[in-house]
Amino acid sequence: MADGWDWHDDIVPRIDGKRVVVTGGASGLGAYIAEALCAKGASVVLADRDVKGAETVAGKIASSVPRADVSVRFIDLADSVAIEDFATWYMSEYSTLDILVNNAGIMTPPYGKTVKGFESQLGVNHLGHFTLAYHLMPVLASTPGSRLVTQTSIVHRGGKINFKDINSERSYSPWKAYKQSKLATLLFSRELDRRMRSLGMEAPISVASHPGLVDTHLYRNRERMRRWLKPFMHELEAGAMPALRAALDPEARGGQLYGTDGWMEFKGRAVPVRPHGNGKSADLASKVWELSENMTGLDFSARLRECASGKR
């Protein structure tokens, strides 16, 4: 792969029969990631609030990928009950989960809250996926070689965790809240892997990725920004490549971050990259873990200990 890692390459192993869940599969990066994983032989569940959009994507995949095994299931990452319902359904249907791609996200919407009252970007982008990973951890942990891929963003480099106003109730900046949420996702991915390894867990590994800058529906609230950034963006396929490498590369290791190798990591080839700014802080990662447990009411630490001891 002289020109860079590419999931199309025959060197990249097939994953025939492996079971995959992709959140946010109704459009953009999630749709492309799902199609690529189906093309590599996976059985993929598109998990999205937009069921009609996901069904359209599933139909497209079925028509373009021979013998594609793709299905659709509702999930609302702003609603902890809907998240638990999805996980309960999944584990009642399947006994393995090889890859969970926590991809769904929202960017810079008007101020809003989730069902539990969390600021919507932190709630959906981070706490929703934190909750989903908690509920699916037993099946991930019991599937040898499994992976949890968390989609973060290059904007984590400017992110800060505002512990004093975590839900932006005193002051709301859509952009600062987005950066906060994406920093939290990265810190969660790294801290999760650290905690699993400390318990001696072999599966899953937790790997993060960021797509660089990609012109997707995420920018619907920032049209002026979209126009300004357009020259620095790369295509959807290139933007999906870091997540696909995190999911498929046999050399991937827990705690890694895949991104792009171009200027400012805005675009380029999918390569291992280093976290920036607060994304490097192990102390902050631990604090965000504890904050997430307190906000969601989920004892993820205890769940990991149960999985490490073989309980389910």
Query: What are the start-end ranges of the H helices in 7-152?
Result: 28-39, 51-64, 80-93, 120-121, 129-141
Is 32 annotated in the active site? Answer: no
Instruction: Please list the residues that pair with 21 across neighbouring strands.
Output: 45, 100
3-state secondary structure of 203: coil
* C-alpha to C-alpha distance for 268 and 50, rounded to whole angstroms: 30
Active-site residue identified among 90, 178, 219, 258: 178
- Angstrom CA distances, 7 to 76, 226, 257, 312, stand at 29, 27, 17, 34
- Report which residue type is found at 62: A
Two tokens, residue 214: 């990609």
Contact 188, 289 (CB under 8 A): yes
Strands across the sheet containing 19-23: 69-74, 43-48, 19-23, 99-102, 147-151, 205-209, 257-260, 270-273
Residue in this structure with the two tokens 């696909």, named with its chain if needed: 244
Give which of 266, 183, 216 is closest to 30, Cα–Cα: 216
DSSP label at residue 165: G
Q: What angle do CA 98, 270, 238 make, to 5 degrees?
A: 95
117: exposed, middle or buried (Cβ count in 10 Å: 0-12, 13-18, 19+): exposed
* C-alpha to C-alpha distance for 72 and 24, rounded to whole angstroms: 11
Q: Which residues are known catalytic residues?
A: 178
